[in-house]
Amino acid sequence: MQIDVVDMQGQKVGQMDLADEVFAAEVREALLWEVVKAQQARKRKGTHSTKTRQFARGGGKKPYRQKGTGNARQGSSRSPNFVGGGKVFGPHPRSYAYALPRKVRKAALAAALSLRVQEKKLVVVDKLVVEAPKSKRIAAALKTLGFDSALVVDAKGNENLVKSIRNLTAHACLPPEGLNVYDILKHGGLIIARDAIRAVEARVVGTPAEGQAA
């Protein structure tokens, strides 16, 4: 498939070919949901912790004698059936992360990219040149391109672009190596530098070592 290439002012400056298996793939919503869920699970801290009987302070002495009180036999006041006692089956620190097959992650990334193409929310820019880190200027440029919220993708090394966008809460900037389904869906538009297109395509159709963050 072909797509128009524009400059920072939104004017058409040419066209380029895009790989159909990356930008014209089937959009499977269930696949997108599964990958986003896995990404969000990896972000969970998992630092919740409760004290079981062995960690509840005190309770070393038997609360009352074994027989003759009319109460049930007890060995510790920190037993779970006492107020202030330990918790049974409470949460403990753990990781919520789980792995998805590489083919699933790549298919979901292709689906997210294809979704933006179908929605006409993918813009390929000839060059993302920023002379100095100025958030106001880049915000105006992104609005000119038609987006109040956009994910910008350019090769590593464009520090002025990264510094200009990082203060904008509605926008984000990522290298092709960090492109992922969640950030594509989170932002209303997707802007990719022309020189980064091939690297994005390699995330989906390249060798296994070329994509780790799908």
pLDDT in the model for residue 54? 87
pLDDT in the model for residue 33? 97
pLDDT in the model for residue 208? 45
pLDDT in the model for residue 214? 46
How far apart are alpha carbons 87 and 79 in whole angstroms?
8
How far apart are alpha carbons 29 and 200 in whole angstroms?
21
pLDDT in the model for residue 61? 85
Rounded CA Rg of the chain: 27
How far apart are alpha carbons 172 and 157 in whole angstroms?
16
Residue 104: count of CB within 10 angstroms of its CB: 15
For the chain, residues with pLDDT lower than 70 are: 207-214
Cβ atoms of 62 and 76 within 8 Å: the answer is yes
Residue 65: count of CB within 10 angstroms of its CB: 9
pTM of the prediction?
0.82
How far apart are alpha carbons 16 and 6 in whole angstroms?
11
Phi then psi for residue 2, to 5 deg, are: -115, 150
Residue 159: count of CB within 10 angstroms of its CB: 10
- What are 94's two structure tokens? 């753990």
pLDDT in the model for residue 205? 87
Domain at 2-44+97-210, CATH class:
alpha beta
pLDDT in the model for residue 209? 42
pLDDT in the model for residue 59? 83
pLDDT in the model for residue 41? 97
Chain centroid, CA 214 distance in Å: 9
Delimit the domains of the chain by residue range: 2-44+97-210, 48-95
pLDDT in the model for residue 211? 41
Sheet with 2-6, strands from edge to edge, namely 12-17, 2-6, 122-125, 189-193, 150-153, 171-174
